């Protein structure tokens, strides 16, 4: 299941809602990405996430399908926010549930790595010096490439 929304999400509610009644589940892994301000004099005041409506949903659906192909998951969920967010606010939620923890951990990391390099979101930070677009990190590309199939 995937969702793209402006509103915040309740982590406990989402986990409960996703896994209720699924008694084959033995482990649930949750990743929550939040807005960091970076600290110091350059600390950001807010962050605005722009996205490509339509393509975002398609990409997240495809990424989730790929994870479910690679690992035996009993449930999975991606919730990604857009719009203006303040430091400390939640940006993204990725939940993976499986019979055994290894699949849940691996699939969760895979989903986060892939969505960071494939889902069409762009972050703009509002700083004391003005607004700036966040640049893609080589480390994110490398993290995503770890999952390439030989």
Nearest CB to another protein, comparing residues 65 and 134: 134
Contact 93, 79 (CB under 8 A): yes
Work out whether 120 is an interface residue with another protein (CB under 8 A): yes
Near another protein in 42-71, by CB under 8 A: 49-52, 54-55, 58
Q: Which is nearer to another protein, 87 or 120 (CB)?
A: 120
Site map 14..33 versus another protein, x via CB under 8 A: -------------------x
Beta strands in 6-141 (DSSP E): 27-34, 46-51, 75-81, 83-85, 90-98, 121-127, 130-133
Under 8 Å between Cβ of 87 and 35: yes
* Chain residues in the site for another protein (CB under 8 A): 33, 49-52, 54-55, 58, 80, 91-92, 112, 115-124, 133-136, 140
């Amino acid at each position: 299941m995937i969702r793209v929304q402006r509103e915040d999400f309740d982590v406990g509610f989402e986990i409960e809602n996703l896994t209720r009644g699924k008694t084959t589940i033995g482990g649930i892994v949750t990743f929550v990405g939040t807005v960091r301000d970076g600290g110091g004099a350059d600390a950001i005041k807010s962050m605005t996430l722009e996205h490509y409506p339509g393509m975002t949903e398609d990409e997240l659906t495809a990424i989730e399908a790929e994870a479910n192909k690679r690992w035996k998951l009993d449930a999975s969920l991606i919730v990604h926010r857009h719009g203006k967010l303040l430091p400390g606010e939640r940006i993204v939620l990725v939940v993976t549930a499986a019979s055994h923890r290894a699949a849940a951990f691996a699939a969760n990391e895979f989903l986060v790595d892939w969505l960071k390099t494939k889902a069409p979101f762009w972050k703009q930070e509002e700083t004391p010096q003005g607004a700036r677009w966040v640049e893609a990190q080589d480390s994110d590309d490398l993290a995503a490439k770890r999952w390439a199939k030989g």
